[in-house]
């Protein structure tokens, strides 16, 4: 097979040119980073689980009418996606105080928030993805007012849907981050959900015990990250056979 064209190498994923115009291949790596890549590790099998979990979430979002870039999973580590123009913003929705909001505003972690809170972060690794306000987004033209409206609407629909989906398997959706991009229907731009939705980009706590099943286990050295990710995949019913999750298993050669 001819070597595929590398389009973009990120911290946890690599993007290759897809088989048809307007498509890309999203490859999930085992790299875990935190604190703007100050902390880095390779966690055997993480990429496989994120590929399966994100497939599950995005497929369900597509089926309830929340448009995403996801087309189909190709193999253990890769999925076919629609090519989008990424909007350089991360949209975070929070249901329960944790992480940066707990620190910034002095709220005890685990405190339920009075309503879902939406925040924006400007995607720029050099700056460490700073939080920004609508004023900055408009003034610096990172997104139009219409884009921002669409992104917030998508983020809140994702929040409603995913909160229910995870609660159904005994998991509390504390917060999450999405990224969005434009596709074009003719000349008309439309905003859809892109990137991934996985325990790398969500905080997921066991409803009963409060145990963390997300990347905070790595950020805060709380144990084996794979335990939590495996628990999420198992509860969602998408856990691949354990023997093929770790890299010792069969691998596609590109
Ligand atoms: P924060 O509390 O650190 O601001 O994170 C909020 C949510 O966003 C949390 O679910 C983790 C996710 N997140 C990312 O996906 N990527 C990032 O770079 C950061 C900082 C957070």
What pLDDT was estimated at residue 186?
Answer: 87
156 falls within a domain: yes
pLDDT(4) > 80? yes
CA trace torsion 241, 243, 248, 250 (10° rounding): -50
Range of the domain at 72: 6-83+225-241
CATH number at residue 149: 3.30.470.20
What pLDDT was estimated at residue 157?
Answer: 98
Q: Enter the tokens of residue 235.
A: 């509860």
User: pLDDT band for position 2 (50/70/90)?
Assistant: low
Please tell me whether residues 170 and 160 are part of one structural domain. Answer: yes
Describe the crossing of helices 46-63 and 145-167 by its angle, rounded to 10 degrees. 110
What pLDDT was estimated at residue 99?
Answer: 98
34 Cα to the center of ligand 1, angstroms: 9
What pLDDT was estimated at residue 37?
Answer: 93
What pLDDT was estimated at residue 253?
Answer: 54
Residue appearing with tokens 């339920």: 112
Number of domains comprising the chain: 2
91 Cα to the center of ligand 1, angstroms: 9
Note the pLDDT tens digit of each residue in 231-251: 999 999 999 988 889 875 555
pLDDT (mean) for 101-111: 98
What pLDDT was estimated at residue 210?
Answer: 98
176 falls within a domain: yes
CATH number at residue 23: 3.30.200.20
Please tell me whether residues 58 and 39 are part of one structural domain. Answer: yes
74 Cα to the center of ligand 1, angstroms: 27
Phi and psi (nearest 5°) for 248? -65, -20
Q: Rounded to whole angstroms, how far apart are CA atoms 165 and 222?
A: 25
In ligand 1, the atom with minimum distance to the C-alpha of 36 is 18
Please tell me whether residues 156 and 99 are part of one structural domain. Answer: yes
In ligand 1, the atom with minimum distance to the C-alpha of 177 is 8
Note the pLDDT tens digit of each residue in 32-89: 999 999 999 999 999 999 999 999 999 999 999 999 999 999 999 999 999 999 999 9
pLDDT (mean) for 135-139: 98
Q: Which residue has the higher pLDDT, 2 or 3?
A: 3
Q: Enter the tokens of residue 114.
A: 């009075």
249 falls within a domain: no
What pLDDT was estimated at residue 254?
Answer: 54
Ligand 1: does its nearest atom lie under 6 Å from the Cβ of 129? Answer: yes
What pLDDT was estimated at residue 19?
Answer: 97
Q: Rounded to whole angstroms, how far apart are CA atoms 78 and 149?
A: 31
212 falls within a domain: no
Q: Enter the tokens of residue 37.
A: 């890549």
Note the pLDDT tens digit of each residue in 165-219: 999 999 999 999 999 999 998 888 899 999 999 999 999 999 999 999 999 999 9
Please tell me whether residues 73 and 89 are part of one structural domain. Answer: no
Please tell me whether residues 132 and 181 are part of one structural domain. Answer: yes
Q: Is the dihedral of CA 110, 115, 116, 120 positive or negative?
A: negative
In ligand 1, the atom with minimum distance to the C-alpha of 201 is 15
């Amino acid at each position: 097979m001819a070597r595929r064209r590398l389009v973009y190498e990120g911290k946890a994923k690599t993007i290759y040119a897809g088989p048809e115009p307007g498509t890309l291949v999203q490859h999930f790596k085992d790299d875990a980073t935190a604190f703007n890549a100050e902390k880095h590790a390779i966690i055997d099998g993480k990429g496989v689980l994120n590929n399966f979990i994100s497939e599950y979430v995005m497929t369900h979002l597509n089926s309830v009418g929340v448009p995403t870039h996801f087309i189909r999973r190709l193999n253990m580590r890769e999925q076919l996606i629609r090519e989008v123009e990424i909007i350089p913003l991360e949209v975070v929705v929070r249901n329960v105080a944790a992480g940066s909001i707990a620190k910034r505003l002095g709220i005890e972690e685990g405190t339920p928030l009075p309503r879902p809170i939406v925040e924006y972060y400007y995607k720029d690794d050099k700056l460490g993805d700073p939080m920004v306000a609508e004023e900055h987004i408009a003034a610096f033209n990172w997104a139009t007012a219409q884009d921002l409206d669409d992104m917030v609407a998508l983020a809140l629909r994702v929040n409603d849907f995913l909160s229910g989906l995870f609660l159904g398997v005994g998991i509390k959706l504390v917060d999450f981050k999405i990224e969005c991009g434009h596709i074009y229907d003719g000349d008309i731009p439309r905003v859809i959900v892109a990137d991934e939705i996985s325990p790398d980009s969500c905080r997921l706590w066991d409803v009963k015990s409060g145990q963390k099943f997300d990347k905070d286990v790595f950020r805060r050295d709380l144990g084996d990250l794979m335990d939590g990710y495996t628990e999420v995949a198992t509860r969602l019913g998408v856990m691949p056979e354990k023997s093929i999750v770790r890299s010792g298993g069969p691998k596609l050669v590109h």
